[in-house]
Amino acid sequence: MTRVHIIGTAGYGAADFTRLALRHPRLELGALESHSHEGKPIAEHAPLLRRLERSYDPPGTTLSQLLPKDIVILAGRSEDSRALAPQFLAHGARVIDFSDAFRLHAHADSAIYGSPERYRERIAQAKLIANPGCYPTATLLALAPLGAFGGEIVQLVIDAKSGVTGAGRTPATGSLFAEVDEDVRAYGFGGHRHEPEIAQELKACGIAAPFIFTPQVVPLRRGMLVSAYATFAREPDPHAVAAAYVRAYANDPFVRILDAARAPSLTAVAQTNDAELHITVNGRVARILCAIDNLGKGAAGQAMQNLNIMLGFPEETALL
């Protein structure tokens, strides 16, 4: 059995990861730290973990219990990840970080960007995984296969809608029910924090075209739908575009490419690590729709997939 410690366990993504870890046949839970809920029963705070008869551990518990080859999940603030990750690595542990602390220039900083569909071999050898954000995950799943046509793409438009849990569990006025119900709220007009991450990874795919990114919050607990539009310099062959997606995801167990009659569904991917894609070409514009669960493939599910790859387990373990 491999022991996994979780820091920031009271957050939405970390609670979802804990749920997955509980049903993983080859993992056992170590420390479950929370700065904000130290000493409080986990079941009272996280209903989906009511079978877990434990209280949140205080900060520092993981480091005091850590053994080589343990796994540490960092699900707190970026500044905490930057301070803690080197300490855990120095003790021989492997780390998966949910924050944006190591995503930019990840490969130059000894971290691996945790996109299994693109970096599977690197993830298998990694000591430190920068788990991608939910917006970049859905966006890159939608657009990465177009790297085969990189030089032919002249403009990208990314329209992204996220459930409220994407804002995290810390109370904020903009996340209250009365603020989001019966509304769709666009934000980040001056530049969203995920844009540099998206630009970095699009470039790594071979796509250097400028893009417009519009994130929006919709009145759902969880789920994400990205509608991406790629304008080509000249009309592409629709069959070649479709074939690029089939090639790109032929060996990926969680990516479904839908036929023309079906649209991606948030209900279909809810509480899973799945992604549904739909591709159409109209003239010079390719439209790609991608649906994921922002706490699943956009956070905890992808982290578990990365953990399975790191440890040599089947990728689907605890995720199907």
The per-residue b/e assignment along 248-287, b for 16 or more CB within 10 angstroms, e otherwise, is: bbeebebbbbbeeeeebebeebbeebbbbbbbebeebebe
* CB atoms inside a 10 Å sphere around CB 71: 22
- Continuous segment of H or E residues that includes residue 162: strand 153-162
Residue 312, sorted as left (phi over 0), alpha (psi -120 to 50) or beta, turns out to be left
Contact in structure between 184 and 161 (CB atoms under 8 Å): yes
Contact in structure between 111 and 129 (CB atoms under 8 Å): yes
Alpha carbons 199 and 205: distance in angstroms, whole number: 10
Q: Name, in order, each residue with C-beta under 8 angstroms of 176's C-beta and a sequence gap of 6 or more.
A: none
Q: Six-digit token pair at 154? A: 């002249």
Q: DSSP letters along 118-134, please? A: HHHHHHHH-SEEEPPPH
Active site residue 134: yes
Q: Which residues pair with 143 in a beta bridge?
A: none
Alpha carbons 66 and 279: distance in angstroms, whole number: 46
Q: Which of 134, 158, 275, 319 is catalytic?
A: 134
Active centre residues (catalytic): 134
